[in-house]
Structures are given as structure tokens and as C-alpha cells.
């Protein structure tokens, strides 16, 4: 029993290293083009935002439609700290994430007094307020025309892929460890039955706030990466439709499944680019694919389950062992 956590950690660490190194190596070998590398990097940012939404919708059990607002705060904060205050880019990104987390903490107090449709409407309004504010603060945001932000990640798609994938792996590792802790279990208990959780001594509002703030923290990471990789930010990134895109990733991947949300984010990001040759017809085919999937898989790709690399490894080892046994029997 004592060796099991170490074995699990070793397998997951190996998977994380391969997830970072394999795409980077394939890009360096020319097997993945630079344009494709950029699409994969954007897919990684969408995956981070999908985890942010899933933290609220799937784990905490609240419906939020304002995560694009936190994305905008993280993006513009990173630009402000780097260009206007002259701070190094890594420090600017960290401060942008912390400022977004603070915004989530301040907004969570009044917002989480509500639930259901009321919470969705209020968070939707929050996102629109952020968009309008950024449009009118022209000195800091460039107004509706946006602001240019030239970084090494915007100029080097291969390096952008490496950084985004690395950050994504760390976010997944931290979030999965949190969800398996007593705090994560308490948040999920609030999602399942607030009355039963409250009767067990769980402070419902406190743990809802924890989930909301963590979701804002993850969105701040996505916003900082978006600004650095995209190289150009407009207030329109806080619009309602972008929040709906993030919600689609969660619903398609499975509410409560982080790995499902990540897979859905990558698939849908690449699907949009793959269907670009259809021009305006893409707007018809893309929703039809989503409708088809939701009709035959209403719980999403993985439902509330997580993709277990440990079980996958065990099955591979069992298959290899069975093949070796069969081969040895045939030789006899």
C-alpha cells in the first residue's frame, strides 16, 4: 500500500513529461507545422479556461457565464504590469493571475448569495460590465481597438506550445490534487446535497467561495497566456459568446470531468480550424456536430469520470503479459 502512491506519481509524472516533450519534439522535427503548433497552443489555453468553468459548473455545482470576464482581467493585467510598469514578463503574468484571483474573491461575496439562473444572469452581467469598462479605459486597454502585446510567445509558436503545455500540465496536477483533498471533497459534497453537507458541519458559502476563487485563479492563468500567445487583446474577449464557448467545452467533455473538458477543448479548437475551408458553411456544420454528440452522449464524452492513465498502464501491462504467456505456450 505504501508503494502505490509512489507508483501512481511516477506514472503520472511520466505522462506529464511526455505531454510536454512529444509535441515540442515533433514540432522541432518538422512533423508538426508551426501553424498547427499555434492551434495546439490555443487549444491548451482553451483547455485551461474549460477547467476554470468546470471548477464552477461541474465541481461546485453553480452556473457561471462570466469566466470570459476573468480571462480579460488576466490578459489586460499582464499587459499593464509588463508594458506600463516595466516588470519582467513572468512576474507580470504572476501578478496578473493574482489580480484576477483577487477580483474573483471580491466578486464572489455578493454573487454567491444567489444560485441557479440568478447566478448565471449576474455573472453574465459581470462579464459585460468588464467588457464595457475595458472599452472605455482607453489609456490602459486601447479602447475598442485593443492593444498590441508583442512577446516571444507571440513570435515563436514552438516556444508558445512548450510554455502553454507545461502550464496546462501543472494546472491539471495541482487541481487534481486539490480535488482529492478534504477541501475538494467538501466542495463536491456541497454540489451533491447542500442540506446534507451543512448538517455534517460544512460551511456551504465558504467552500463555494473557495471553488469560485480557484476558478478565477485558473482563468487568470488562461488570460495571461492568451495575451502572451495571441499578441493582441481586445475587450471583446470578455463577451458573452466566449463564455458560452468555454461552457460548451465543459458540457461536451463532461461536467465534473477535467480530462474530458481538456479533450473537448482541444478537439473543438482544432475542429474550428479544420472546417475553416468551408467558410460560412462552417457555422452550420459545427453546431450540427455538437447537437449530434449531445443527442447520443448527453453526459458528455467522459461524463463525470476522469481518464485514468494508471488504469490504462495496468491494462497495457496486462495485455503485454498475456501476449508473452501465449507466445511462451505456443513455443512449448
Find the mean pLDDT for residues 181-201: 87
Distance CA 316, CA 331 (A): 23
Whether 3 shows a pLDDT value over 60: the answer reads no
In which band, very low, low, confident or very high, does the pLDDT at 225 lie, cut at 50, 70 and 90? very high
Distance CA 261, CA 52 (A): 10
Task: Tally Cβ neighbours within 10 Å of residue 329.
Answer: 8
The β-bridge partners of 233 are 147
Q: Say if residues 158 and 31 touch (Cβ distance below 8 Å).
A: no
Q: How far is CA 81 from CA 76, 141, 238, in A?
A: 9, 12, 19
What are the φ/ψ torsions at residue 209 (nearest 5 degrees)?
-60, -40
Q: Say if residues 87 and 81 touch (Cβ distance below 8 Å).
A: yes
Which pLDDT does position 100 carry in this prediction?
95
Picking from 28, 42, 61, 116, the residue whose alpha carbon sits closest to that of residue 250 is 61
Picking from 55, 44, 42, the residue whose alpha carbon sits closest to that of residue 216 is 55
Which pLDDT does position 330 carry in this prediction?
64
Whether 188 shows a pLDDT value over 80: the answer reads yes
Which pLDDT does position 328 carry in this prediction?
66
Picking from 143, 187, 198, 158, the residue whose alpha carbon sits closest to that of residue 38 is 158
Asked whether residue 4 is domain-assigned, the answer is no
Which pLDDT does position 1 carry in this prediction?
38
For 159, the 3-state DSSP assignment is: helix
- Domain with 150 in it: 11-331
Instruction: Kindly state the DSSP code that residue 301 receives in the 8-state scheme.
Output: S
Whether 221 shows a pLDDT value over 90: the answer reads yes
Asked whether residue 2 is domain-assigned, the answer is no
In which band, very low, low, confident or very high, does the pLDDT at 18 lie, cut at 50, 70 and 90? confident
Find the mean pLDDT for residues 277-296: 75
Task: Tally Cβ neighbours within 10 Å of residue 135.
Answer: 18
Give 155's contacts (C-beta < 8 A, 6+ positions apart): 231
Cell numbers at residue 8, please?
501512481
Asked whether residue 241 is domain-assigned, the answer is yes
In which band, very low, low, confident or very high, does the pLDDT at 223 lie, cut at 50, 70 and 90? very high
Q: Percent of the chain at pLDDT above 70? A: 95
Task: Tally Cβ neighbours within 10 Å of residue 150.
Answer: 11
Which pLDDT does position 170 carry in this prediction?
93
Asked whether residue 1 is domain-assigned, the answer is no
For 304, the 3-state DSSP assignment is: coil
Asked whether residue 216 is domain-assigned, the answer is yes
Asked whether residue 41 is domain-assigned, the answer is yes
Whether 2 shows a pLDDT value over 60: the answer reads no
Q: How far is CA 130 from CA 119, 136, 138, 172, 234, in A?
A: 17, 10, 13, 27, 12
Between 122 and 113, residue with greater pLDDT = 122
> What is the number of domains present in the chain?
1
Distance CA 190, CA 115 (A): 13
Distance CA 232, CA 153 (A): 12
Buried b (16+ CB within 10 A) or exposed e, 255-287: bbbbbbbbbbbbbbbeebeebeeeeeebeeebe
What are the φ/ψ torsions at residue 233 (nearest 5 degrees)?
-130, 130
pLDDT tens digits, one per residue of 75-99: 999 999 999 898 999 999 999 999 9
Whether 180 shows a pLDDT value over 60: the answer reads yes
Give 231's contacts (C-beta < 8 A, 6+ positions apart): 148, 149, 150, 151, 153, 154, 155
Which pLDDT does position 23 carry in this prediction?
87
Arithmetic mean of pLDDT over the chain: 86
Asked whether residue 6 is domain-assigned, the answer is no
Q: Percent of the chain at pLDDT above 90? A: 32
Asked whether residue 142 is domain-assigned, the answer is yes
pLDDT tens digits, one per residue of 32-87: 888 889 999 999 999 999 999 999 998 888 888 889 999 999 999 999 999 989 89
Amino acid at each position: 500500500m505504501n508503494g502505490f502512491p509512489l507508483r501512481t506519481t511516477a506514472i503520472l509524472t511520466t505522462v506529464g513529461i511526455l505531454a510536454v516533450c512529444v509535441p515540442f519534439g515533433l514540432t522541432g522535427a518538422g512533423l508538426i507545422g508551426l501553424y498547427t503548433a499555434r492551434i495546439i497552443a490555443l487549444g491548451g489555453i482553451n483547455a485551461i479556461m474549460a477547467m476554470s468553468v468546470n471548477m464552477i459548473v461541474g465541481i461546485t455545482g453553480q452556473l457561471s457565464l462570466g469566466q470570459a470576464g476573468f480571462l480579460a482581467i488576466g490578459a489586460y493585467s499582464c499587459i499593464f504590469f509588463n508594458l506600463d510598469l516595466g516588470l519582467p514578463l513572468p512576474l507580470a503574468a504572476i501578478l496578473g493571475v493574482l489580480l484576477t484571483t483577487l477580483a474573483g474573491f471580491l466578486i464572489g461575496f455578493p454573487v454567491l448569495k444567489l444560485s441557479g439562473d440568478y447566478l448565471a444572469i449576474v455573472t453574465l452581467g459581470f462579464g459585460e460590465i468588464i467588457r464595457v469598462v475595458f472599452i472605455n479605459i482607453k489609456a490602459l486597454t486601447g479602447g475598442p481597438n485593443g492593444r498590441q502585446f508583442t512577446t516571444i510567445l507571440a513570435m515563436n509558436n514552438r516556444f508558445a506550445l512548450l510554455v502553454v503545455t507545461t502550464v496546462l500540465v501543472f494546472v491539471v496536477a495541482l487541481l487534481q490534487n486539490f480535488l482529492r483533498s478534504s477541501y475538494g471533497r467538501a466542495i463536491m459534497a456541497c454540489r451533491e446535497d447542500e442540506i446534507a453537507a451543512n448538517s455534517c458541519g460544512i460551511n456551504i458559502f465558504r467552500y463555494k467561495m473557495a471553488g469560485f476563487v480557484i476558478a478565477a485563479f485558473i482563468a487568470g492563468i488562461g488570460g495571461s497566456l492568451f495575451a502572451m500567445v495571441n499578441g493582441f487583446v481586445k475587450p471583446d474577449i470578455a463577451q458573452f459568446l466566449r463564455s458560452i464557448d468555454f461552457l460548451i467545452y465543459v458540457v461536451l467533455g463532461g461536467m465534473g470531468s477535467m480530462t474530458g473538458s481538456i479533450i473537448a477543448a482541444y478537439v473543438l479548437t482544432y475542429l474550428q480550424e479544420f472546417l475553416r475551408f468551408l467558410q460560412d458553411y462552417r457555422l452550420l456544420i459545427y453546431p450540427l456536430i455538437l447537437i449530434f454528440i449531445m443527442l447520443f452522449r448527453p453526459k458528455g464524452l467522459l461524463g463525470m469520470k476522469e481518464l485514468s492513465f494508471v488504469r490504462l498502464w495496468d491494462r497495457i501491462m496486462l495485455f503485454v503479459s498475456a501476449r508473452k504467456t501465449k507466445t511462451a505456450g505456443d513455443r512449448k
